[in-house]
Structure 1
Amino acid sequence: MSSDWPHVQLHVVTGKGGTGKSTVAAALALGLASHGKNVLLCEVEGRQGVARMFDVDPLPYAETRIATGLRMRSRSGADAEPGNVYALHIAPEEALLEYLKMYYKLGPAGRALDRFGVIEFATTIAPGVRDVLLTGKLFEAVQRNSRNKGARTYDAVVLDAPPTGRITTFLNVSESVAGLAKVGPIKNQADTMMTLFRSRRTAVHLVTLLEEMPVQETADGISELRAAGLPVGGVIVNQVRPRDLPDESLAAALDGSLDGETIAEDLKRAGVEPDPALIATLTAEAKEYAERRSLEDTQRDLVAGLGVPTYELNRIAGGIDIGALYELAAELKDQGLA
């Protein structure tokens, strides 16, 4: 399967809290690595979510190999050799120290500043500095240069990004530094970063559930990204429930016209005694299920009207482990996101 995003090097994954954006980011990294590519999965929120999902030790401020990409069949029928997934936990303090070392040759001197609390002061008191440092490291990972000698290059970088309500501010570093510097190296670096973030090499994907609030926040996020000139990628509908009843049965359950005698016959065939109380309980549950499906279908129509490519991931019972991540990665690849 070919990807819908062949030119994208930086995949930014955002979403309302609780929609599973970290899970989707991890699955996307595994899917992208199936092409034989090396992929870097970054997180910036300090929760060490990547380490927990992949069952590895907490990530240091160093690019660490955590998995092999999804293994896929080639056209010849043999297993295609996958690439590797590396992970990086980006902390603003460490990013600033690296920046001082790379651009100002302040190795030991930078550590001295850290001991005196100057770095913590800079990242706490100056509005926008924290996001500029985090996105600056992200930019460096995508666009490696000679200053970072011997650093590994990546075919793609996936960011487990801040939530939808903050993603535009996070990526729009030109606005973040406007109050800090009008000219000079900080301003120049921010402008350079924006050339990547606003280019076709970047895509901001939004994760949602088929619920009113996440869908509305997704719509608002798309509008804000477009207003800021940032490239919108796809919408990933996560945790989609299986459709256990055909449309005609759903309609009958919704309007209360399910045939009790038919349900009784089905129970008998299954070896269950069809007493009236059981039939009433099953009918009530069917109606509740049909109402839920109706609400989800309404939200699915709203997602379809957003005007961006849409992908769906099935709900996985029992929680997310490495096996589930590979399963989701296969779904994303089959649908063309990875």
Structure 2
Amino acid sequence: MPSSTLAELSAARLHVVTGKGGVGKTTVAAALALALASTGKRVLLAEVEGRQGLSQTFDVPPLGTDEVRLVSHPSGGELWGLSVDAKAALLEYLQLFYKLGRAGTALEKVGAIDFATTIAPGVRDVLLIGKIYEAAGRPRGGRGGGSKGGALHYDAVVLDAPPTGRAVRFLNVNAGVADVARMGPIKSQADSITRMLHDPRTLVHMVTLLEEMPVQESLDGLRDLEAVGLHIGALVVNQIREPRLTAANLAALDGADDDLDELLRTELTAAGLRPTGPMVKGLVQEGRDHALRLELQDEMAKEIAAAGPPVIELPALADGIEEGGVAVLTDELLAQGVA
């Protein structure tokens, strides 16, 4: 399946963000949602893993099953947040299709809800994505409402999805429920969700770092996602570290230890410092480690570039997401034409 272009990224309705654990997936999802909202769109940012990563990112109280406004942008755009819970989604589903009322609460008290969402993970995933499906297709005016021209309540939805290792199973919902629901409401909902996920306006973005394991897992994940018919968006390379050494520095690090030792002592003395043996050795080792890191980054960047999807590069944040870090990434995404 051909990869998307940056222009297609900005036109997508549903953005699914995945990646190996620890690569900054949630932060990138938040920055992407903010970038879309800054263009005047009403955007929903949703998580499904119960980690409350979004509330920590935006420094707000824990999100619940009700959509809450996180940001109002001067452009008129809005960013709303939602944390989808499997238990609450199943209770809502039972009420919608079977009108259980208080009986649903009784089932929860005896542990039947926990049992149902644990014993059938495929059904659990349908329930979780079902909330995203409802929000993405909700007409302006609310559930059951209508609007002229088919306008939707949200202009875009960003889903902070499970990590790469579980993403394919999570998004391939029809396969997940094949053994437990061959017909009926669950199967019907899984079919509807599958149509949404396979729509060209739904894109899966892969977040990675320029390190061997994240890059390999990302490339494997892209192949697996494409194999089940999903459309790939961008490869987001996060936490890129700027080189601290010039070409002359790197050449010097390749030189003989004695020459490098003498050079560093001269430079340190000129800077008003008193060089010691341990200080000089430590600086040499740190410099060579950094040079190796840059070499590895270059190798990994070539593999990423050859993968096919458009590549988006985001800088490493010295202070993490504190002090406006998400806003920095948002500006980078906008500058690269994502929204």
Q: Give TM-score scaled by structure 2 length.
A: 0.88
Is 1:148 the counterpart of 2:123 in the alignment?
A: no
* Distance in 2 of aligned mates of 1:322 and 1:103: 46
* Distance in 2 of aligned mates of 1:84 and 1:107: 34
Structure 2: unaligned runs, 5 residues or longer: 1-5, 147-151
Q: Is the 8 A contact 1:254 1:290 kept in 2?
A: no
Name the CA shift for 1:110/1:290 in 2 (closer, same or farther; >3 Å): same
Per the alignment, residue 73 of structure 1 pairs with none
Is 1:138 the counterpart of 2:132 in the alignment?
A: yes
Q: Over residues 201-226 of structure 1, what are the superposed CA-to-partner deviations in whole Å (9 max), with x where a residue is unaligned?
A: 11111111111111010011001001
Identity within the alignment, % = 50
* Distance in 1 of aligned mates of 2:16 and 2:192: 18
Equivalent residue letter for 2:92 = E
Per the alignment, residue 30 of structure 1 pairs with 34
Equivalent residue letter for 1:58 = P
Name the CA shift for 1:130/1:251 in 2 (closer, same or farther; >3 Å): farther
Equivalent residue letter for 2:129 = T
* Distance in 2 of aligned mates of 1:16 and 1:173: 20
Q: Is the 8 A contact 2:89 2:127 kept in 1?
A: yes
Q: Over residues 226-252 of structure 1, what are the superposed CA-to-partner deviations in whole Å (9 max), with x where a residue is unaligned?
A: 110111111111111111112343244
> How do 1:150-299 residues align onto structure 2 when only pairs under 5 Å count?
153-254=153-254, 259-274=260-275, 278-299=279-300
Q: Give TM-score scaled by structure 1 length.
A: 0.89
Is 1:126 the counterpart of 2:120 in the alignment?
A: yes
> How far is the alpha carbon of 1:254 from its aligned partner?
4.3
Q: Is the 8 A contact 1:256 1:287 kept in 2?
A: no
When structure 1 is superposed on structure 2, of 267-276 and 15-24 the one drifting more is 267-276
* Distance in 2 of aligned mates of 1:254 and 1:119: 63
* Distance in 1 of aligned mates of 2:248 and 2:305: 23
When structure 1 is superposed on structure 2, of 153-162 and 320-329 the one drifting more is 320-329
Q: Alignment RMSD, CA only?
A: 2.4
Q: Over residues 67-109 of structure 1, what are the superposed CA-to-partner deviations in whole Å (9 max), with x where a residue is unaligned?
A: 234xxxxxxxxxx614121111100111112223334444444
* Distance in 1 of aligned mates of 2:256 and 2:156: 52
Per the alignment, residue 85 of structure 1 pairs with 79
* Distance in 1 of aligned mates of 2:29 and 2:255: 40
Per the alignment, residue 94 of structure 1 pairs with 88
* Distance in 1 of aligned mates of 2:167 and 2:46: 15
Equivalent residue letter for 1:163 = P
Name the CA shift for 1:147/1:330 in 2 (closer, same or farther; >3 Å): closer
> Aligned to 1:5, what secondary structure does the other structure show?
helix
Name the CA shift for 1:43/1:248 in 2 (closer, same or farther; >3 Å): same
